[in-house]
Amino acid sequence: MNVNFKKQQEDINFKPAGQFEETRFEKIHNVIFSTAKEGSIKVAKEIKDLINEKQAKGEMCVLGLATGSSPIKVYEELVRMHKEEGLRFSNVITFNLDEYYPMSKDNLQSYYYFMHEHLFNHIDILPKNVHIPNGSVSSEQLHQYCIDYEQDIKKSGGIDLQLLGIGRTGHIGFNEPGSHINSETRSITLDYITRVDAASSFLGIDNVPKKAITMGIRTVRKAKRIILLAWGDNKSSIIRKTIEGEISSKIPATYLQSHQNTTFILDIEAASELTRINTPWLVGPCVWSEKLSSKAIIWLCELTGKSILKLIDEDYNDNGMSSLLAQEGSSYDLNIKMFNKVQHTITGWPGGKPNADDTYRPERANPAKKRVLIFSPHPDDDVISMGGTFDRLVEQGHEVHVAYQTSGNIAVADHEALKFAEVAKEMNFYQDNGFMLDIIKQVTSKKDNAIDSIEIRKLKGRIRRSESLAATRYLGVPDENVHFLNMPFYETGSIKKKPLGEEDIKIMCEIIEKIKPHQIYAAGDLSDPHGTHRVSLNALFESLKILKPKSFMGDCWVWLYKGAWHEWEIHEIDMAVPMSPDQVLKKRKAIFFHQSQKDGVMFQGNDIREFWMRAEDRNTKTAQKYNELGLADYAAMEAFVRWHY
């Protein structure tokens, strides 16, 4: 370990108390934070210290910078430090990693635009010290341009600190799989997965450039210090492969394993597949909490292909779980306990079973008729993620309300809006058609990636509203129980949302107070590609904090479902609601009412299947997993985690 690295490790005293040590599985130094914000603040502090240290010596500080979602909070913190703590950037030279090609500087999707919007416009860096690959050089000049960019980095004295994100392909910069360890700044063809990931920002994959200019692997590895940021469970798989796998051009980020001064800064979700987090019993002694025991036993069933009641002592002993066995006595006792625990999560009565002993049921029997409030971040998550449970709650006589948190207007395609505008125009034939004609004109003359006008957004929001009402009517909910919150944080007309504001929280508090629910259901999904689910959930958590002292809240239980992208892991589930084959079909039909989200939806995430297909697949898989553990064989199951606030 070189001295500088050791110093960095001491400096980065990042580990919260009780954090885990690195293991023999890991080949890259990494530090895990509870949140992206905490990690970003530490990284910004390291950058600040470096700038100040160099300033004190009268030296320039050369930073290599990245774009994308990962570094945004670091830039926010640097801007804050500039404004509030007097951090100066007069001695800073920057080189950005990459830029789409071709790409003009004024395009909202350009990295040039991104860097100015997030950093350069708010600090005192000298414009001449800013270098971002120019996406508008001609193809004839491109080769020489890349050579010159590389030379400019050398002339500046080389990069002192390089900030990186990581793509799901394992790219750093835009060094896609196949990139050579000795590669330098050059043009590159983007991987399909990278283009899929960028599709939502470009409003469709067809608009994503096919090429980019990127610094090479050698360029990046020459940096004296490298910090890679990764947040969220979308990154967990590639992070594990990069940190624990073999060095390979198939995952270019693995080349960082042989760089002497690299740290990965992760949040707990991005780190969740690392061996020491995911299966800590394989790494060393564990404190066996109930949650960890459940996780380990279910993992053991999957590994051995056995149901819970068939596990034997040898299975536990051979797979790092002998201390759990010693703690509990025998595999027989351990198995029965675990079996009962999983069994007790299953209920066909999500609102509680009236007149039944509820000691081992997930929900209370009383009150027999509950007021239920389902929060749905977009106008369709309710039926996609919990359509079967929703149906049961209505059928079992509870007073079910649905609150759509956002209008979901940006996810309606222009051609869909045009269809409705044209119908409206035709129907208005004998009246003033000016308004509709204007909308039709706006839609048909819209430039690529332009933000919709307020009128078009309204129309798109109305389309989703009508679709939602069609679905809730089909499930038997009266219209007066369907609430459209139109939370303001969402209403920007673009992917980038406003931060949660007081008005958002006020709207949430008002609806909860009005209904005084016994049950709240909400999306606990943190993997929504645009973060709307995360923000919607934060809004709920904030509101719960405010409302907690109210007496009705003492009776209010919160259940989290996952959105369209993932499912809870079996050991996490507190309530599993089985569905019959007929209920599966009913749920499918409820999802179909959201027609604007069918047939090639705009914001698909990483999975190109339609929402109803993903939902069915996921519900079937949950049922299969329960069955493989030795529990009853259901067609499908929806899963919930109870949130204790």
Active site residues: 176
Closest CA to 466 of 532, 427, 417: 417
Residues in region 94-113 near ligand F6R by CB under 6 A: 97-98
How many angstroms separate the Cα of 554 from the Cα of each of 549, 557, 588? 8, 8, 35
Buried/exposed 455-468: b ≥16 CB within 10 Å, e otherwise: ebbebbbbbbbebb
Task: Provide the mask over 453-492, with x wherever binding to ligand F6R is found by CB under 6 A and - wherever it is not.
Answer: ----------------------------------------
Query: Between 169 and 406, whose beta carbon lies closer to ligand F6R?
Result: 169
H helix count then E strand count, the chain = 21, 17
Buried/exposed 625-643: b ≥16 CB within 10 Å, e otherwise: bbebbbbeebbbbbbbbeb
**CA distance linking residue 645 with residue 425, whole number of Å:** 50
Residues in region 584-603 near ligand F6R by CB under 6 A: none
Here the tokens at position 400 are 């079910």
Backbone phi, then psi, for 118, in 5-degree steps?
-90, -25
Q: How far apart are CB 270 and ligand F6R at their closest, in Å?
A: 10
Q: How far apart are the first and last CA of the chain?
A: 45
**CA distance linking residue 184 with residue 159, whole number of Å:** 14
Closest CA to 635 of 348, 351, 362, 376: 348
Here the tokens at position 60 are 């320039």
Q: How far apart are CB 538 and ligand F6R at their closest, in Å?
A: 20
Q: How far apart are CB 235 and ligand F6R at their closest, in Å?
A: 7
Query: Between 62 and 166, whose beta carbon lies closer to ligand F6R?
Result: 166
Closest CA to 135 of 219, 211, 217, 216: 211
State which of residues 28, 62, 142, 172 lies at the interface with ligand F6R (CB under 6 A).
Answer: 172
Segment contacting ligand F6R (CB under 6 A): 21-29, 172-180, 182-190, 217-225?
172-180
State which of residues 73, 82, 171, 259 lies at the interface with ligand F6R (CB under 6 A).
Answer: 171
Q: How far apart are CB 251 and ligand F6R at their closest, in Å?
A: 13
Helices (H), 174-221: 192-199, 217-221
Q: How far apart are CB 67 and ligand F6R at their closest, in Å?
A: 4
Q: How far apart are CB 552 and ligand F6R at their closest, in Å?
A: 41
Question: Cβ-closest residue to ligand F6R?
Answer: 165
State which of residues 173, 388, 563, 630 lies at the interface with ligand F6R (CB under 6 A).
Answer: 173
Q: How far apart are CB 414 and ligand F6R at their closest, in Å?
A: 25
How many angstroms separate the Cα of 76 from the Cα of each of 66, 90, 142, 470, 616? 14, 18, 32, 42, 40
Query: Between 174 and 611, whose beta carbon lies closer to ligand F6R?
Result: 174
Q: How far apart are CB 231 and ligand F6R at their closest, in Å?
A: 8
Helices (H), 429-572: 434-444, 454-474, 502-515, 532-547
Query: Between 169 and 519, whose beta carbon lies closer to ligand F6R?
Result: 169
Task: Provide the mask over 174-213, with x wherever binding to ligand F6R is found by CB under 6 A and - wherever it is not.
Answer: x---------------------------------------
93 near ligand F6R (CB under 6 A) = no
Segment contacting ligand F6R (CB under 6 A): 170-178, 313-321, 534-542, 564-572?
170-178
Helices (H), 86-203: 111-118, 139-155, 192-199
Query: Between 98 and 315, whose beta carbon lies closer to ligand F6R?
Result: 98
Neighbours of 392 (CB within 10 A): 22
Q: What is the SS3 assignment for 642?
A: strand
Do β-strands 92-96 and 61-65 pair in parallel, antiparallel, or remain unpaired?
A: parallel
Cβ neighbors of 369 (< 8 A, separation 6 or more) are 397, 398, 399
What string of DSSP letters covers 345-377?
A: TB-S-TT--TTS--TTSSS-S-SSS-EEEEEES
Residues in region 110-169 near ligand F6R by CB under 6 A: 165-167
Q: How far apart are CB 281 and ligand F6R at their closest, in Å?
A: 31
Containing 419, the helix (H) or strand (E) segment is helix 414-427
> Cis peptide before 209, with omega less than 30 degrees from 0?
no
Query: Between 212 and 436, whose beta carbon lies closer to ligand F6R?
Result: 212
Containing 334, the helix (H) or strand (E) segment is helix 331-343
Q: How far apart are CB 171 and ligand F6R at their closest, in Å?
A: 5
Residues in region 43-72 near ligand F6R by CB under 6 A: 66-70
Question: How many chain residues bind ligand F6R (CB under 6 A)?
Answer: 14
Q: Are 520 and 558 in contact (CB under 8 A)?
A: yes
Binding positions for ligand F6R, rule: CB under 6 A: 66-70, 97-98, 165-167, 171-174
